Every structure is written in C-alpha cells, then in structure tokens.
Amino acid sequence: MEVVHLEIKKELEYFEIDGAFGGNQDWFTNVVMHIGGCAAATACDCCIYFAKHMGMKELYPYDIGHLNKEDYKRFSQIMKPYISPRVSGVKKLAWFISGFEKYIEDAGLAGRLSMEEFPGQRTAKEAEDFIRSQIKRGIPVPVLLLQHRDKEKFRDYIWHWFLIAGYGQAGGDFQVKTATYGEAVWFSLKEMWETGFAEKGGLIRLVV
C-alpha cells in the first residue's frame, strides 16, 4: 500500500542492490534460506546499512561500494549459522539478538553495536515514539511480525522479519516505510501493530 501524500516525512538514506530497495530473500538459491531466511536477511541488510553509512565496514565482507546480488547471496550464507532458519521461524526477539550479537562480535565490533528488545505488547503510540526516535538517529528498525488478522493486506509480512526505513504522517495517521523483498512499502503503523493476536513479535533497538 503506497501512500500518495505524506504531510511529514523522514526517511533513511538507504541502499540499493542492482536496482532493488535493499536485499531480497527471494534471491536466495539455498532452499532453507529462500523459505525461512528473513531474519538472516534482515541482519544482512542492517550490516550493509551500517557498513555503508556508519563506517562499520567490518560488518560486510564484500565491496560496500559495489553491492550486487551475488555477493548478497554469499553474505546470507555467512549469516545463516548465526541466525538459523527454524521449523517455527526465528519467532523470538531474543533469538535474533543473540545470533546477531555473535556475528558482530566475530566481525570484531563487539561493543560498537548493541541491541535491546521492544516487545509487541507495548502500545502503538509507544512503538510510534520508538520508531520516530530511531529513524531520527539514522538507524533502521528491525521488525518481527507474527500473526495478523488482516491476512490479505499483510500477507507478505506474516511470520516475517523486515526493516522500517522511514516514517511519515498522513491525515493524522503515523505511517512507516518498510523494506523487505527488495521493495519499499508504506503501512499504517497502528494497523500493522494491532495484530489481533495474543502472540506478538516486536521491534529491535539497535544502539550505536
């Protein structure tokens, strides 16, 4: 759902890979990663962003000045052991954090980039304030969305990890710019956040 007009807008200077908006899980030729590699792909995109825009070049083992699909696919295989796809998916924020922190440590940047959970049980207004704060700092926001009552609108986002790379205001509604599958799509945060299910995902605070 692309927003036609946003009265206020703040977007990250993101990155493109062969014309795509960030990475794309659909590129993965490894069957396990193609089906369940969204958490690892989200971590890969975070690494590329921080390598490209915050000088943490140790996080991306290839040429940050020449991003391409083949290097991205190779990178996903490096990330795979740290954030392994599981039968039920990487369905807990803590699982993502523990794996990603281990990768950062092995890359030699322990202490430069840390993480905290922002659970999905918090209110939509709290999530809005959190996202606004992170984007203003120039930091993308990893998101875990589990179930959702609107299965049509969020069909590509159910049981899925992705990133928020911007926010905007439209008619008093807070909108977020999502990055996944190589595309940027805008959603109402309130609609996305209020899933209608007790089991929640949440957000990750990346602390630089």
The model's pLDDT over 23-75, given as tens digits with 9 standing for 90+, comes to: 999 999 888 899 899 999 999 999 999 999 999 999 999 999 999 999 999 99
Given a contact cutoff of 8 angstroms between Cβ atoms, the answer to whether 118 and 205 are in contact is yes
- Pair type for strands 173-180 and 202-207: unpaired
Cα separation, 101 vs 24, whole angstroms: 22
- Rg of the chain in Å (alpha carbons): 16
The predicted pLDDT at position 71 comes to 98
Residue-wise pLDDT for 130-151, tens only, equals 999 999 999 999 999 999 999 9
**Distance in angstroms (rounded) separating the CA atoms of residues 181 and 17:** 11
Q: What DSSP state is assigned to residue 179?
A: E
Q: Residue 168: CA atoms inside 13 Å, Cβ hemisphere, count? A: 18
CATH of 8-207, one of 3.40.50.620, 3.90.70.30, 3.40.50.300, 3.40.47.10: 3.90.70.30
pTM: 0.95
Give mean pLDDT, residues 186-193.
97
Strand partners, 173: 170
In tens, the pLDDT along 2-29 reads: 444 677 799 999 999 999 999 999 999 8
- Quote the crossing angle between the two packed helices 93-106 and 38-53, to the nearest 10°: 50
Q: Which amino acid is at 154?
A: F
